[in-house]
Structure 1
């Protein structure tokens, strides 16, 4: 993992290198443009001389050698003003070039470079109206162009140095600000505990850190809620276990006092202790199931849904012999975990029995082949629930209509277990309930392909 400062240095170095590269390309293009412009200017000057000499007779052309014609020509063409002219005709020679050695670099009708583009030279043989041939050589001094080019280099270099300095100062300033923000976040971490999950928001220089702190704050809120739920879970669990233990202890004291001499009291105490023990055992099983949720692995196999439902009905008949359940089996094959499906249906069916007011409970299976779905419906006609209670039915130890269901046995963990199983098996559920009308539960399973 790279350090932020090292990453920023690499980015800055990359930007500077890119700037130098672009600068070099720009200077190269500018240099080529200046050279090509100068060459074009020299050729335009030569073309002008060629046109002028072609129209003149020999007598007029000879005026070149006394300089009068050259002055007239320079007034007519601006490209000749910064060019040195050399003209040869038989024994006549006219030259404005101080360094005659430059003439040896000339090549017919080709612009040549002298002294690393200190000068450029062009030579042509021009013929006048009388057919006489004059050798004309033009030399252009590129000192102005070179000075302009090097001035551009100096300006660019100066600008580059300024940019590097500004980048370095900006980089250090930015890095210091970022380090300050990171230090503030580290201090926040050291001050937060399970007992104190409140976030003291520091002053931020960057919106991005505000977003980080927003996410951090949301995480702390979730942790605080989970922490409170865990504490509430422990308190509720302790209470649910403490109550039957208190009852068991009371019956034990009763046995010690009167049970030895009164068989009826002894038998009543033993039955009650057995019931409370079974209740505690069931509660512990549910708590263990919730506690080991992350360790639960589904064992997928081929099961027949109607057989599972019939098995759940048969088991619950022993516990609730007065229950009235109607179910018409329909052959349906699923691929799922049989034990988890049994536990899922058992919890939902047990709730329907407990809160069904001893009225008939209808169970049905509806295969929807075109959607590759099967719907298991459990419908009771009992006390039902309010819409507000539906939002909390999956909360641990939550029991709707407490005033009316206080005499109904239960711990408020069944629907929490149902939710866990639904998540594990990826089964959808839909619950509809009306107060004093009843509750209908739809489970949506995928059919075996």
Structure 2
């Protein structure tokens, strides 16, 4: 499989090049040349397959031409060694709980898959690969833990100072080994800009083998398609899959883009809803046809605090820049912190189900926008305890902290303070050579 750039000004790349480079030379994002549909027999029998069996068949479409079948199967099965249950919240709304991995966040699957694929491609490299990742919350912890201890790879996690939850911060600042946390005096968009600038800097790239583990990397975002197939399989098992609507809490748009790829592969999702917080750039695009990125603002759903989502380029490319085509399959919703708090409290009091702030956006969009004949699935992207102070203040009571999170909280924070100026970041990286 060859991969092209969304900017159409870079040469075609192999999967290996797309994974190792992360970003194309023209600053575009890599896209697979072909999105192949899965056969009818797969969908006819999908409810009888395990999550790992489903994921392997999906992965084979994208990666099977480039990776031996036994190795790809090993990567998929090793990545998906935890459950992802679909839980009923109301009669027609279900939660796809994506927080049962090592860091209790949906990004664990993509990060673990990418770590194993990168290790496969770099196993014979003489020089180490340096992974740069910007995070607004969960990406950093998932990538750091996915790559922890992987030989020949060093990860630099850039995060906005004071703008991630304390537990999220613990998950990537206490690890040590091959993980370095860089605390940037700025926003997530500033962190992302530093990463992109590093990829485009010839001097750095001549000296360091740089790649990204954000959802701009095909090895990070494509495996997230696994979730959507699994959700469909579970609804089909319940006899609820005929009018399936999926709502995705959206920040950098890697997750919903993976779902759109699934639909192109024949997955019978009726439509998508992209749920935003106050950073509603995509929502405004859906309403007006105009894309106007702006500096992000801090909210209680911090992993969605993105003012210029990278994967918007992939959405545009997928629909050939047609606003009409995009709005025919994707609608949007946007919520304030006050509305998010209302939703968490109301759902918990009425159903006993505890939402995290991001999942609350997804649930509320379905609650307000589902038609009577439709069944909605929202992606519950992280465990509520990762946002402990926020959730406890909403409920007025204590939230139990899972053992996995408690272990992270025992570690000592170690981070490198950094300005948002690229020359400072570049100078730091040069010292690492």
TM-score range relative to shorter protein: under 0.3
- Taking structure 1 as the reference length, what is the TM-score of the superposition? 0.19
- Taking structure 2 as the reference length, what is the TM-score of the superposition? 0.20
Specify which structure has the bigger relative contact order, considering alpha-carbon pairs within 8 angstroms and separated by 6 or more residues. 2
